[in-house]
Amino acid sequence: MKILVTGAKGFIGKNLIAELKNRKYTDILEYTKDTNPSLLDEYCKEADFVFHLAGVNRPKDQSEFMKGNFGFTSTLLATLKEYNNNCPIMISSSIQAELDNSYGRSKKAGEDLLFKYSKETGAKVLVYRLPNVFGKWCRPNYNSVIATFCYNIAHDLPITVNDPSVVMNLVYIDDVVNELINALNGKENAVGDFCEVPVVHTITLGEIVDLIYSFKKSREERTIPDMSDAFTKKLYSTYLSYLPKDRFSYELKMNVDYRGSFTEFIKTPDRGQVSVNISKPGITKGNHWHHTKNEKFLVVSGKGVIRFRKIDSDETIEYYVSGDKLEVVDIPPGYTHNIENLGDTDMVTIMWANEPFDLEKPDTYYLEV
């Protein structure tokens, strides 16, 4: 199957082509503004499906809207006609096609042209009036507020918010791409004459800004956003894609003493805390118990023993652990416990607790095993 993608180097085009290749579509005809125009004939002759993503949305002159969004669409359809190629064609329009502005009128003209083409040729046409699309590889400080805010905040640059109460309807690039590939396979989400991306997120501009700033702060606080919220999860992935190339990493505070170190890695309000514990050879750590707090220990390097004793019992329980055999040991409440390094190298343990450490309410009581 030969798939023609116009606007192949644009935001949606790059993401679509990357996923098409992931799904083993190898015969992709990429057309950009820099492609030799003579290739359009060859591509229109051979294409089995057309994703028409090319367009103009930030021209130097308003007249360029019609030339880019209507003119090239006209050329594309005329070329398909010339070769009697009635393959399905998808066009990326905009919700602004309903508005009376230069951009909206140019998009509406492109839509009308496509519907007329369908009536004349019988070709299947798929018109997507997309709201604001966000995600990786979108150009910042151009025409996407999400891309601009993510880039600027990640780079310590100022942003401008005129009205935080403005409500935005947004679609995520992966959801768009998934819908377009469904359309390629004849499973488009059609609503009347148009097609839609089924997952739309509605949120205010102020809420978006607050979230992005919280992502920046999360590195300092060693926290993770609420990934159970679909929009937060997608926006966080988008934010990370705009990190400066020299700021992918960030330091953690290591609490170091003669016994080794203890370092908090990730804290969440609802899924607990993950830390990294390093014990020197012969060192025993712990000897405490909890009322409600519970933990999971995973030794990933070295070897040792985890000992337990119910606080009202004399019986000691031992679990031998090693980085050579990864297994999780649960630390139940009501048992005092410790972990001893039995090897001659540092022992590294990943520790999860069901709640972030609270200095005011640690729920931790010293008692020798």
- The torsion angle over the Cα atoms of residues 6, 12, 17 and 23, rounded to 10 degrees, is -130
| CA atoms of 223 and 28, how far apart (whole Å) | 41
- Contact 349/297 with Cβ under 8 angstroms? yes
Residue 250 tokens read as 């960030």
Residues 6+ apart with CB under 8 A from 246: none
> Residues, the chain, total?
369
Residues annotated as catalytic are 103
> Crossing angle for the helix pair 230-240 and 145-154, nearest 10 degrees?
60
| CA atoms of 203 and 162, how far apart (whole Å) | 16
User: Cα angle vertex 170, ends 165, 171, to 5°?
Assistant: 170
- Contact 103/111 with Cβ under 8 angstroms? no
- The H-assigned helical ranges of the chain are 11-22, 39-46, 63-66, 72-82, 102-121, 145-154, 173-184, 205-221, 230-240
Identity at 357, one-letter amino acid code? F
Residue 13 tokens read as 């085009």
Residues 6+ apart with CB under 8 A from 73: 52, 91, 110, 113, 114
